């Protein structure tokens, strides 16, 4: 049909920047969603694509984009992420040379930067794999559980305590949806801007159990509009985690620096990059 074979075209930085720009302009255009942005759900897609990694077996991770297929698309943790995958379909159609697995991670990078987060260096090199590479259910964290579970899940990916806490700062973004996870509400008052507010609110506000028929979650005493998951609250309840919560609550620059480093690590888990493939920082639309 005249389309170039993927191997005939060697995309460069400018080509990926064009994909970035397309995602950024779609984010700006489609502000009639949730709190005004698809950004948070794009970040969640990139994280759930990556967070299946198991360092012992080398399985899972963002290489493969296997969440396109059942059973992985139907894992409870991935409820609602079809919205994010569908948002990116027109981008894939416009730039067919990019793999889904590189595209989903690029979208996470774009969303973080466009929501005023730190620069997130990116490199391509992921290839799409078939349904046989789907990971088993249960690799992503369960929000109802606490520190022992968090350590089991994130140590399996190769992260330490400081990195677990830095990653959790992503909950400054977005919200829970009762028709997806069962939980309800945002963590912060500015869910479309990345800040260290998740840590500030965790330490500064008083939290109580929400009285409702849904799963056990916390609400802030003062406004009853914000939420915390049991797994979020475990970060202040655990002494070692809490040391990092306090540091990030006090210092947004430190949070941005550590968040950028750990997100790059998360997004690259298990990816067999070509030797010499450098990382790039994309220009934001602002
Ligand atoms: Fe999360 N997350 N997450 N999360 N997450 C949810 C939403 C979002 C857990 C549970 C939930 C990370 C870690 C954890 C984002 C990013 C990241 C929801 C609500 C639940 C539940 C889903 C829904 O109802 O739509 C748990 C548990 C953990 C953990 O134990 C550590 C990490 C590491 C990240 C990351 O990006 C690095 C984002 C963004 C959202 C908001 C999505 C949206 O649609 O808005």
**Position of tokens 């914000």?**
226
CA distance 43 to 115: 10
Pull the structure tokens for residue 46: 């990139």
Q: Output the residue whose Cα is nearest ligand 1's atom 10.
A: 143
Kindly state if the Cβ of 202 falls inside 6 Å of ligand 1: no
Q: What is the pLDDT of residue 248?
A: 99
**pLDDT tens-digit readout, 7-43:** 678 999 999 999 999 999 999 999 999 999 999 999 9
Q: How many CB atoms lie within 10 A of CB 40?
A: 25
pLDDT at position 3: 60
Q: What is the pLDDT of residue 286?
A: 87
> How does DSSP classify residue 209?
E
Q: What angle do CA 103, 108, 111 make, to 5 degrees?
A: 120
Question: Atom 11 (ligand 1): residue with closest C-alpha?
Answer: 143
Determine contact, residues 217/207, Cβ cutoff 8 Å.
no
Confidence of residue 77 (pLDDT cuts 50, 70, 90): very high
Compute the distance between CA of residue 64 and CA of residue 108 in angstroms, rounded to an integer: 16
Q: Could you tell me what percent of the chain has a pLDDT over 90?
A: 96
Give 72: exposed, middle or buried? Use CB within 10 Å, 0-12, 13-18, 19+.
buried
Q: The tokens of 34 are what?
A: 């949730």
Tokens of 225: 């509009």
Query: Which whole number is the average pLDDT over 235-264?
Result: 98
Q: Which DSSP string corresponds to 122-140? A: B--------GGGPPPTT-S
Which residue, by CA, sits nearest to atom 9 of ligand 1?
Answer: 143
- Pocket flag, ligand 1, residue 44 (CB < 6 Å): yes
Which string of b and e fits 223-239 if b means at least 16 CB within 10 Å?
A: eeebbbbbbbebbbebe
**Which pLDDT belongs to residue 9?**
85
- What is the structure's pLDDT at 4? 55
- Distance (angstroms) between ligand 1 centre and the Cα of 100 equals 21
- Location of structure tokens 């049991």: 230
pLDDT at 2 over 70: no
| CA 15–ligand 1 middle distance (angstroms) | 30
Average pLDDT rounded to a whole number, residues 142-158: 98
Q: Are 115 and 285 in contact (CB under 8 A)?
A: no
Q: What is the pTM of this model?
A: 0.97
Residue 40 CA, closest ligand 1 atom number: 39
Q: Is there an atom of ligand 1 within 6 Å of 40 CB?
A: yes
Q: Between the CA of residue 102 and those of 10, 48, 63, 65, 133, what are the distances in Å?
A: 14, 14, 8, 8, 16
Is 273 in a helix, a strand, or coil?
coil
Task: Output the CA 44–ligand 1 centroid distance in Å.
Answer: 6
Calculate how far, in angstroms, residue 17's C-alpha sits from the geometric centre of ligand 1: 27
Mean pLDDT computed over every residue of the chain: 97
Query: For ligand 1, is residue 180 a contact (CB within 6 Å)?
Result: yes
The answer to whether residue 244 scores a pLDDT higher than 70 is yes
Catalytic residue IDs = 48, 187
Q: In this model, does residue 6 exceed pLDDT 70? A: no
Question: Which residue among 51, 174, 196, 262 has the greatest number of ligand 1 atoms within 8 angstroms of its CB, and so is best to mutate?
Answer: 174
User: Measured from the CB, is residue 175 less than 6 Å from ligand 1?
Assistant: yes
* Ligand 1 site-directed mutation target among 36, 47, 87, most atoms within 8 Å of CB: 47
Q: What pLDDT is recorded for position 63?
A: 97
Which residues does residue 227 pair with via DSSP β-bridges, in sequence order?
Answer: 219
pLDDT one-digit tens code per residue, 176-204: 999 999 999 999 999 999 999 999 999 99
């Amino acid at each position: 049909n005249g389309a170039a074979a993927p191997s005939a075209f060697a995309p460069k930085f400018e080509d990926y920047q064009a994909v970035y720009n397309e995602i950024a302009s779609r984010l700006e255009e489609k502000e009639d969603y949730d709190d005004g942005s698809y950004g948070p759900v794009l970040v969640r897609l990139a994280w759930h694509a990556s967070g299946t990694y198991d360092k012992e077996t080398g399985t899972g991770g963002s290489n493969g984009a296997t969440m396109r297929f059942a059973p992985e698309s139907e894992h409870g943790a991935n409820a609602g992420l079809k919205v994010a995958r569908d948002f990116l379909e027109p981008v894939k159609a416009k730039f067919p040379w990019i793999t889904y697995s590189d595209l989903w991670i690029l979208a996470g990078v774009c969303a973080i930067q466009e929501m005023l987060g730190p620069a997130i260096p990116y490199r391509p090199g992921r290839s799409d794999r078939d349904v046989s590479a789907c990971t088993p259910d249960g690799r992503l964290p369960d929000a109802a559980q606490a520190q022992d579970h968090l350590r089991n899940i994130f140590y399996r990916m190769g992260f330490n305590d400081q990195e677990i806490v830095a990653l959790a700062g992503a909950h400054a973004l977005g919200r829970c949806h009762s028709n997806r996870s069962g939980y309800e509400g945002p963590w912060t008052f500015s869910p479309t801007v990345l800040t260290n507010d998740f840590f500030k609110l965790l330490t500064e506000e008083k939290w109580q159990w929400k009285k409702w028929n849904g799963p056990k979650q916390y609400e802030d005493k003062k406004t009853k509009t914000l939420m915390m998951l049991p797994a979020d609250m475990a970060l202040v309840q655990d002494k070692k985690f809490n040391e990092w919560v306090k540091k990030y609550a006090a210092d947004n620059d430190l949070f941005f620096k550590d968040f950028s480093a750990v997100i790059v690590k998360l997004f690259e888990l298990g990816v067999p990059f070509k030797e010499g493939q450098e990382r790039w920082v994309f220009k934001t639309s602002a």
